[in-house]
Amino acid sequence: MRVETTELRDVLVFRPEPFRDDRGLFTRTFDARIFDEQAGSTGTRASDFVQDSQSRSVRGVMRGMHGRSGRGEAKLVRCAHGAVHDVLVDIRPGSPTFGRHQAFRLDDVGFAHLFVPPGFLHGFQALTDVADVCYRIDREHDPTEDVAVRYDDPALSIAWPLPVSVISARDEAAGTWSELLASL
């Protein structure tokens, strides 16, 4: 498994190396030892993950931009089926990459896993007819800590590859980047 750094501080991409043959493929999707060696300095250990979740979306669906206040939450995100355009925004005051965003393609071909440390907004858009996204999360969900910024907030200037086909009422009503900054 290869591990790559990104433009955003502490964000890592884990790239499994699938074995392919006439039957299809086999790949390791998680390795606790490698995770701890690479991401342990962020304060998140493999043993901290307490919950796995999955979402299914259709082409054009937009989910996000979501985050958590307080201690935040660490996530390991992958697309198990299909493809998504995944975006992170650093919301950690004092971080050298505060306010910056970076996009990643997650799909069922390259099997990349995106490590999202606490202190980031996260969102994605489904690029394929069906996209299943799996999340490994280090904390139980506490809705009182939810924060969100609209996916199309001009202050973030995130370029989404497709027109948005469906968005939840909650995401439609999300606040602005300016409102989030005032609350940090």
Q: What is the CA radius of gyration of the chain?
A: 16
What DSSP string runs through the chain? -EEEE-SSTT-EEEE---EEETTEEE-----HHHHHHHHGGGT--GGG--EEEEEEEETT-EEEEEEESTT---EEEEEEESEEEEEEEE--TT-TTTT-EEEEEEETTT--EEEE-SSEEEEEEE-SSEEEEEEEESS---GGGEEEB-TT-TTT----SS------HHHHT-B-HHHHHHH-
State the Cα–Cα distance between residues 151 and 67, nearest whole angstrom.
Answer: 12
Give residue 125's pLDDT: 98
Q: Note the pLDDT of residue 122.
A: 98
DSSP, collapsed to helix, strand or coil, labels residue 46 as helix
- The count of other CB atoms within 10 Å of the CB of residue 58 is 13
Which tokens in the block code for residue 155?
Answer: 């202050």
Residue pair 55/158 in contact (Cβ under 8 Å)? The answer is no
Active-site positions?
Answer: 66, 135
CATH assignment, 2-183 = 2.60.120.10
pTM of this prediction? 0.93
Tens-of-pLDDT digits for all 184 residues of the chain? 999 999 999 999 999 998 999 999 898 889 999 999 999 888 999 999 999 999 999 999 999 999 999 889 999 999 999 999 999 999 999 999 999 999 999 999 999 999 999 999 999 999 999 999 999 999 998 999 999 999 999 999 999 999 999 999 999 999 999 999 999 8
Q: What is the pLDDT of residue 71?
A: 87
Where does residue 1 rank: exposed (0-12), middle (13-18), buried (19+ CB within 10 A)?
middle
Domain limits, the chain: 2-183
State whether residue 74 is helix, strand or coil.
coil
